[in-house]
Amino acid sequence: MTYFFVILFLALMAYLVYFNAVQARDIINSPYNERQDNFADRVIRGSITDRNGNVLAETEVLEDGTEVRHYPQGELFAHVIGYSSQEFGKTGLESVDNFNLLTSNAFFVEKLKNEFQNQKNRGDTLVTTLDLEMQRAASDALGDNKGAVFVMEASTGKILVMLSKPSYDPNQVDDLWYVLNSDEENSPFLNRVTQGQYAPGSTFKIVTTLEYMRENPDYANYSFDCTGTFEHQNFVLPCWTRSAQGHLDLRGSFAQSCNGSYANIALTLDRASYRKTAEELLFNQKLPSLLDYSRSSFVVSETTGDSELMMTAMGQGNTLVSPYHMGLICAAIANGGQGYQLYGHGNQQERTPKLPEADDGTRGGTVKGIYVRGRKRGHGDGFKPGGLQRGGQNGNGGVQPG
């Protein structure tokens, strides 16, 4: 019995050490911890800036001592920075980093001076990886359309642009909350980058290509003759060009985004393996994200019919994905199969699951080669960054913007 209590005591001590060393800060920083706001009695909420020091959020102290949260860029960063409201709570980084913004690491002499003068300390400044000029350029390009723009540095996971439209002005949340919250047509509070769910269209051919390569080590010998339409049983699928594209190998199939070729590939795939690959790429799984997000959906199973399988392979069907998730996948390809967790501030570089590899360990690099050298011809040709490789795949998903 004595040994039992000794072991129990040691286990309790070990847990307390673990809690204080690992979990304490996360629990304190939880947006559900209402005690955080008690810090506001002693600390003026810190500012949030982009990577160049441009202010994205700040607290202004009026002559009567009233503190007002101000967002100099208006609706431009609304979904990623979020808002901080006494009445309606917090969202975005305002919520995620609430504890850090209400923490002051000022020099202790300054803190002591403020204490004697009955003045508050200034909270720490949160420096993000966002870029104001790039965000503006993305906003100008998107115009008044509904949609999302997401730009990241693939080699590190730094988020440079996170733009969602329609948006809202966080300076007016208290006044317009009920109007904004009831706007079902525009859903201005919806962050389409992380929470939007869309048919991936031809961008999903990246996943299909990877699965085919996993199942067929001789994928370099793949060939298909595109006649402009593909027929299987009673299913007739036209190619997006509405014309014959001739003889294609795997790289050519990807470059031309040939629907017929990918329908043909789909019929050769093992459904269980296809699903496994998709889930290794985080479909139906939790995503590494501090902001609220929606899980991507991949529904192929061993009972899925041929027609649904063919539509899935080309990015139609019932597959749904967020722009954020596709960014993760593309970043992994750009890094030769290794992904990083995307982040908006600090020095975090937590690795995410690798692309499934071939036995020789070259799968990610080979997909990158197809992605870069096999991109759809004519798309992005006007963009020529000096000395940089470029690659991509586009897709409209067969749906209207929004």
Cα 51 from Cα 18, distance rounded (Å): 33
Contact 111, 118 (CB under 8 A): no
Domain co-membership, 234 together with 351: yes
Does 389 map to a domain? Answer: no
Does 322 map to a domain? Answer: yes
Domain co-membership, 245 together with 174: no
State residue 65's pLDDT score.
82
Domain co-membership, 360 together with 215: yes
Task: Specify the number of domains making up the chain.
Answer: 2
Domain co-membership, 170 together with 225: no
Domain co-membership, 211 together with 164: no
Does 279 map to a domain? Answer: yes
DSSP bridge pairs for 59? 69
Can you tell me which residue has the tokens 């199973």? 301
Does 3 map to a domain? Answer: no
Does 118 map to a domain? Answer: yes
Domain containing 235 equals 201-373
Domain co-membership, 176 together with 206: no
Contact 134, 351 (CB under 8 A): no
Domain co-membership, 207 together with 159: no
- The per-residue pLDDT string of the chain (402 residues; one tens digit each, 9 = 90 and over) reads 677 667 777 788 877 776 566 565 666 666 566 666 677 678 889 999 999 999 999 999 888 888 899 999 999 999 999 999 989 989 999 998 888 898 877 665 666 665 656 678 888 899 999 999 999 999 999 999 999 999 988 888 889 999 999 999 999 999 999 999 999 999 999 999 999 999 999 899 999 999 999 999 999 999 999 998 889 988 888 887 778 888 999 999 998 889 999 999 999 999 999 999 999 999 999 988 888 999 999 999 999 999 999 999 999 889 999 999 998 888 888 777 666 555 555 533 333 444 444 334 444 444 554 544 444 444 444 444 444 454 555 555 554 445
Domain co-membership, 231 together with 335: yes
User: For the purposes of burial, counting CB atoms within 10 Å of the CB of 361, is it exposed (0-12), middle (13-18) or buried (19 or more)?
Assistant: exposed
Contact 391, 383 (CB under 8 A): no
Does 42 map to a domain? Answer: yes
Encoded tokens for 154:
């693939």
State residue 290's pLDDT score.
84
Can you tell me which residue has the tokens 């070729």? 261
The pTM of this model reads: 0.80
Q: Which residues contact 396 (CB under 8 A, 6 or more apart)?
A: 201
Cα 330 from Cα 235, distance rounded (Å): 31
Domain CATH number, residue 117: 3.90.1310.10
Cα 212 from Cα 338, distance rounded (Å): 19
User: For the purposes of burial, counting CB atoms within 10 Å of the CB of 19, is it exposed (0-12), middle (13-18) or buried (19 or more)?
Assistant: exposed
Contacts by residues 1-6 (CB-CB < 8 Å, ≥ 24 positions apart) = none
Secondary structure letter of residue 269 according to DSSP: S
Contact 80, 344 (CB under 8 A): yes
Cα 84 from Cα 11, distance rounded (Å): 40
Does 18 map to a domain? Answer: no
State residue 122's pLDDT score.
84
Number of H helices, E strands in the chain: 15, 16
Domain co-membership, 125 together with 43: yes
Domain co-membership, 267 together with 304: yes
Domain co-membership, 173 together with 208: no
Does 387 map to a domain? Answer: no
Domain co-membership, 224 together with 368: yes
Sign of CA dihedral 379, 385, 387, 392: negative
Nearest alpha-carbon partner for 177 in 83, 71, 95, 92: 83
